[in-house]
Structure 1
């Protein structure tokens, strides 16, 4: 207690008037109870009737405790510090808690923890939910549903085998040509085909493949860094890394999701204008296109979801795997159908495939975009787009003010530990369609502008003198990403006024900078950046990105749920990031060849329109006439 007394005296001197402690040295942090503590689970499982539990508990006390007060004050700096009043321990009940066997399991563990922490720190704990436990000899049973899904997967593999064999040996025969749709060779050739296609908008907009692939790879790397935040033996090193300025922008890569809304809506409005050259589009087309989009996205999504609710739980083992089962897999088994309806972003408590909030929000905005582009025209459409843009600015600002939110979703240590959901900014602003509508409206406008300028034979080379301003868009985007690092500073929280303003404008400004870069690349304003974005390799990677996006968080969950406490380091972070990215794309390749590409081809055939003569309304791009 003498050490703790000296320590508390020093702390008083470095604590500011707000009651927040911004930094402590390693020796001082050693006086805190460990954030993570794991007993040997393998040894526990070798004991007769061994039971091992992972518990999350809050530190409490029945009497005034200066140490707990200090822990609270240190934990108040939520941007850079763990909540050290919230601990995660792995306990072998059969060896460490033998004397606590007359109560239910939760009370038994709480009493056992209290005995240890009171002896070492004069602290107690409060468990707020049932612990996740494993018991020797007990495993998940294989159910009828598991077998049915296994049969479905086997059928998919069988179709691929038959289709590939037909494509290799019988492709000249006219009967059973539909089998070639499932040929792996056929879809491999399609995957690696980066040749320029006649009458294809990809020749004009192929820079978008590069932008999307780059942003997604960076996002996967950012998510992989979660592995050195959760279940680590040196949490102080993680806190120090969050204070490193050059690493903080990486934690803000989630802001790039606004650019995906921009690109998606740009393609939507541009494609609709191309379609209007062929035929008049009526309101019925809204339903047809929504159904086609659902059929295009859902099969791969459903296959991944089916795997998660059935065989995924059989793949892992260890004490933390049960925690993953309870938090990630059980919600999918109970309410996974919300995901298939693309309304899961309205669920406040489900962790089922949490990354798919974007698919739900984008599907909802896609419907809105179809309505705007098909029902409205001319001046009315411009007014509607302006109104949607303003709504997209106002709603996040209002919600930020009402709920006292951060200016944007901030990737703090505790956000990752608790898997985003308890975070009010994520709940109220980040994952909803109506809070991202400003970026979507910008994309709809960009697609319309690009289309009409191509009709007018727009020559951007006349504005070559403004090239420095074009490159300035890169600095704007970098500035927005860096601005997201402001809350990491050792300073009081920004005022509500500043947070409201930044909540309204940060994502639209980032989307605006990206729109400028896209516009210049489409019209070939400069060569260096455009050549990089139009590299053919990006096209191949982007084709795999949808499947990779669906599976990458499950791979991350598996990695940290089946590992012991790891020691956080920059090398470990880099290795894990590279591994997650590589394995995500390998799994995505299999999904693309066996599921996504074949079923996308079937969808295209089912919704194929009859050939209709084009209107005399050709598109001219940089002096080259195309139709």
Structure 2
């Protein structure tokens, strides 16, 4: 077995070296028209008479096939590899319409007509839904002919080619979206103002209690103490900044369970970095580039499959959710008798856990996001988001945005929240069944996992998909909006259910271990599996290169099985990591994963996940021209987005997430102080004793003077 593994690694390394030696014939490659070209955006708006209107339009063009043209044959040669190469017959142009009109008006009617071409192909990715951008329909009617003529003037003169064109959107110097406010903008401002007032009042009241109740305690100890056992006091203090600061940064639970599961926060943080890295690459592909070959060549390097084929890594999040739900229901079964009302309480609890922060970020994206920046690429990243959130916000708040209006997504990354919420409903129902019928536990989980394994396999076979999720350059160029594989197998909850079920099974195994029914510490399989997870994960990611480099006949049963196995593999990865870490597997790594910094960052991960696409949009959206991409730029943007997202998440957590978490506990008649039975109780007791001693000392001092 070890020889087979070494042989496989040798083949992977050899293929990587070969791929790195692969280079395009750049002399041939550069004969093609550049995929992106833009006029000077700022000069377009400045170089006009006073009071005149300047218009800058982003145009998408599709080159008409011409087999007699050498350049077209080069374009067709490269574009035929749809998995690893962009479609070079699709061009992006930024045109100053004032200059374009001036140029075209110099020509007579017949000359202008020669630059015009009727549409020869109805490309849905060219003819985008006009709802994506403000005034899109009007701008298309007004500037369509001029845009077509100006693009073809360039193409025919330099390359002997013609293209059909379509206006994506236009920007004028008189657009004042950044300085105008509608009712939704006002609502967001009012909401922020109310939050600020609540924070000031709550913090002031907490400071007042500190001075009156424990005058001899140092400032810190008061904020660490649980509040009096009254719902009103808890409610009044839930927005207190110093109190929430200590809840966020200090260890507030010293139970065995909380100690065992501390590594989950590290897993969340690490996975979050990977998610941000992937979304930075996505935003990079959506914007005009000077060197698209930089992205294309990555697909020929096997080692880069770790990033390109890493979409399924998000399955680990689903496994963690399943693990935690299983533990929560075991705890309920030990304390309470079966009541179906627990099902509804669990669903409502999850809804209230997600929705406050989710709604705030959604409202920000629908209002002030677009006001942050401006530029020719900014509407691609922000205007579409603003309009989608104003039109489809209800799909997000009902957590059905992974099924409804998926081609006009508001907060596209929030498909995960919808899938997670739907899986929680399914998982809660499963837990209720095994609570009521304990003897059915093995049968229920066995059947559920078998179904969840078969679903992605059947869909892959039915639709003739590849065995891995294909994040090709062209599909990422349009953010997967038109990608059937993305809509059919990536974002539905039922195709991600396998990892969730595996997480629940791992959670039940952990509880049985703690209850003494089984002893997992004596298992020889778990440590071996835990330490081998990383190489297995890398090999799984590397294997995705097979589907990028080859065109296998489809549908094929082996491809369907591969797809199902890869989906479940990441569930095994997440479940085993959490279970092994909870049982002290991991040598020195477990100590690293349990560091205090990860605990704080883990609490901020939910907010960072919601915020980070807006941060990425803001960093890319101000580009005035096609930009040059290299490794350093990608890494720099990833690290910057990661840090900024967590910093902003800190404020969102302090102002919204933690206060509403306390309110949520009050709604469910839970004593929020119960969760604060902490190691600080010892500190508090010592502080009170110290206070009493100080009072006694003062009294003795007064008596001695008397």
Question: Does the alignment pair 1:295 with 2:333?
Answer: no
**Residue 364 in 1 paired to residue 422 in 2?**
yes
CA distance in 2 between counterparts of 1:457 and 1:208 reads 24
Measured after TM superposition, the shift of residue 62 of structure 1 is: 6.8
Aligned to 2:623: 563
State the distance in 2 between where 1:188 and 1:139 align.
39
Matches within 5 A, 1:142-153: 142-153=181-192
What SS class does the counterpart of residue 102 from structure 2 fall into?
A: coil
2: CA distance, partners of 1:378 / 1:233: 62
- 1:332 paired residue number: 389
CA distance in 2, matches of 1:79, 1:591: 39
Indicate yes or no: 2:125 matched with 1:68.
no
Provide Cα deviations, 1:270-314, integer angstroms capped at 9, x if missing partner.
111112221113111111111111111100000000011111122
- Residues 108-147 of structure 1 aligned to structure 2 (within 5 Å): 108-128=146-166, 130-140=167-177, 141-147=180-186
3-state SS of the aligned residue for 2:493? coil
Cα separation, 2, equivalents of 1:307 and 1:299: 13
Label 1:306 to 1:397 Cα distance change in 2 as closer, same or farther (>3 A).
Answer: same
Q: 1:100: Cα distance to partner?
A: 4.7
| CA shift in 2, pair 1:358/1:66, >3 Å | same
- Secondary structure of 1:67's counterpart equals helix
Judge conservation of contact 2:503–2:574 (CA < 8 Å) in 1: no
What residue in structure 2 maps to residue 262 of structure 1?
Answer: 319
CA distance in 1 between counterparts of 2:146 and 2:337 reads 71
- Who is 1:204 aligned against? 260
Which residue of structure 2 aligns with residue 35 of structure 1? 35
* 1:448-527 matched pairs, under 5 angstroms: 448-456=508-516, 458-463=518-523, 467-489=527-549, 491-493=550-552, 496-497=555-556, 498-527=558-587
Structure 1 equivalent of residue 412 of structure 2: 354
Aligned equivalent of 1:588: 649
- How far residue 227 of structure 1 moved from its aligned partner, in angstroms, is 4.5
C-alpha contact 2:468 2:547 (8 A) present in aligned 1: no
Specify whether residues 237 and 494 from structure 1 end up closer, same or farther in structure 2 by C-alpha distance, changes over 3 A only: farther
> 1:104: which partner in 2?
142
Task: Say which SS state the counterpart of residue 409 (structure 2) adopts.
Answer: coil
**Residue in structure 2 matching 1:248, options 305, 330, 339:** 305
In 2, Cα distance between equivalents of 1:385 and 1:207: 26
Deviations 1:186-206 (A, max 9, x none): 1111111136x2446322222
1:209-266 per-position Cα deviation (integer Å, ceiling 9, x unaligned): 2112111112212222334433221112222233333332022332111111111011
2:119 matched to which residue of 1? none
Match among 178, 184, 191 for residue 248 of structure 2:
191
Greater shift in the superposed pair: 234-243 or 94-103: 94-103
Query: Gapped runs of 5+ residues in structure 2?
Result: 1-21, 110-140, 214-227, 673-706
> Quick one: structure 1 residues 488 and 61, their matched pair in 2 at CA, closer, same or farther if it must change by over 3 Å?
closer
The alpha-carbon deviation at position 511 of structure 1 amounts to 1.6
**Aligned residue pairs: how many?**
587
Further displaced range: 305-314 or 320-329? 320-329
**Which residue of structure 2 lines up, in the alignment, with residue 546 of structure 1?**
606
Question: Secondary structure of 1:232's partner?
Answer: coil
Question: How far did residue 398 of structure 1 move?
Answer: 1.7
Q: Which residue of 1 aligns with 2:199?
A: 160
Distance 1:158 1:199 in 2: 35
1:50 and 2:54 correspond: yes
CA distance in 2 between counterparts of 1:601 and 1:494 reads: 55
- Secondary structure of the 2:494 match is coil
Q: In 2, Cα distance between the equivalents of 1:31 and 1:62?
A: 15
In 2, Cα distance between the equivalents of 1:76 and 1:346?
Answer: 31
Separation in 2, partners of 1:393, 1:480? 17
- Where 1:97 maps in the other structure, the secondary structure is helix
Residue equivalent to 1:406: 466
Name the TM-score, length of structure 2 as normaliser: 0.79
Q: TM-score, normalised by structure 1?
A: 0.88
Q: 2-side partners of 1:45 and 1:289: how far apart?
A: 55
Determine helix, strand or coil for the equivalent of 1:53: strand
Question: Shift of residue 267 of structure 1?
Answer: 0.4
C-alpha distance in 2, partners of 1:369/1:306? Answer: 30
- Closer/same/farther in 2, CA of residues 327 and 127 from structure 1, 3 Å limit: farther
Shift in alpha-carbon separation, 1:485–1:239, aligned structure 2, 3 A: same
Alpha-carbon separation, structure 1, partners of 2:194 and 2:255: 37
Separation (CA, whole Å) in 2 of partners of 1:583 and 1:466: 37
Structure 2 partner of 1:15: none
User: Could you tell me whether the CA contact under 8 Å between 1:55 and 1:89 is conserved in 2?
Assistant: yes
- From the superposition, tell whether residues 390 and 469 of structure 1 become closer, same or farther in structure 2 (CA, over 3 Å): closer
Q: Which of 662, 667, 676 is 1:601 aligned to?
A: 662
Distance 1:477 1:190, change over 3 A: same
